[in-house]
Structure 1
């Protein structure tokens, strides 16, 4: 199994105060048990570090960043063709409240043949991807 990992999932895992924390922990346990391949982007990494630092401080932001830079995560680094595709998606989905980071994620997923995201951002579903949920919810 290959999953795309979004900022919203990482933040939910790290923050017990997050409304999705318990669900994220359950999904994470299943991901680890299955040995899933995890893919994210450099923009998600940057976003995670910014959000975690703002909510929980520098030390936790460093730990979060270091975790994403380690196995089992594969980081896709943005290049010009990927940026061009993301920009095309950003313009296409003008009626959605998307960030360019979201659109980079949406451009990466089909390139890597990924159809499911570990995310709590419903925009993934709105543009046609599935969201990872605990097995008992499936």
Structure 2
């Protein structure tokens, strides 16, 4: 049996869960990451900005700084968001029916579609409602 390398979009909620020991999904996120050591994670500058901002607010500036400085070691692949991805993100946003719709989540879905990725490392069910698979410890 050969292990296939999984490619996944990583959402900011997974970054929070990996970083913050107080996060409700912390242990689950650590297990998921350990179970997929060869996973290639992709994220946009939208997620980087959202993660840095929330980490700074929820924890402190030093935690946010550490996240930003640690990006190269995490080996996240940063994907530029071009006009086509933005147009697709807008389409995803307009299709959502909840008032709690996150535009960053829509950018993630558009980025995934653009890259041909169907897996997202997140705990947010919006991805499943839009046809994506959430990365899990047993996937």
Please say whether Structure 1 and Structure 2 have the same fold, judged by a TM-score greater than 0.5.
yes
State whether residues 10 and 43 of structure 2, in contact with CA within 8 Å, keep that contact through their aligned partners in structure 1: yes
- Judging by fraction of residues, say which structure has more helix: 1
Alignment partner of 1:77 out of 80, 105, 125: 80
Once the two structures are overlaid, the 10-residue window that deviates more, 37-46 or 85-94, is 85-94
**Residue 110 in 1 paired to residue 79 in 2?**
no
Alignment partner of 2:126 out of 119, 123, 128: 123
Gaps of 5+ in 1: none
Structure 1 equivalent of residue 3 of structure 2? none
Alignment partner of 1:62 out of 44, 48, 65: 65
Report 1:26-45 matches (<5 A): 26-32=31-37, 35-45=38-48
What displacement does 1:68 show?
2.9
Alignment partner of 2:21 out of 16, 41, 61: 16
Gaps of 5+ in 2: 1-5
What displacement does 1:96 show?
5.9
State whether residues 5 and 117 of structure 1, in contact with CA within 8 Å, keep that contact through their aligned partners in structure 2: yes
What displacement does 1:31 show?
2.3
State whether residues 52 and 68 of structure 2, in contact with CA within 8 Å, keep that contact through their aligned partners in structure 1: yes
Secondary structure at the counterpart of residue 36 of structure 2: helix
TM-score (norm 1): 0.89
Alignment partner of 2:101 out of 98, 101, 119: 98
Secondary structure at the counterpart of residue 58 of structure 2: helix
Q: Deviations over 1:60-114 (max 9, x none)?
A: 1011122335552111121222111111211122346321111110101121111
TM-score (norm 2): 0.89
Once the two structures are overlaid, the 10-residue window that deviates more, 64-73 or 78-87, is 64-73
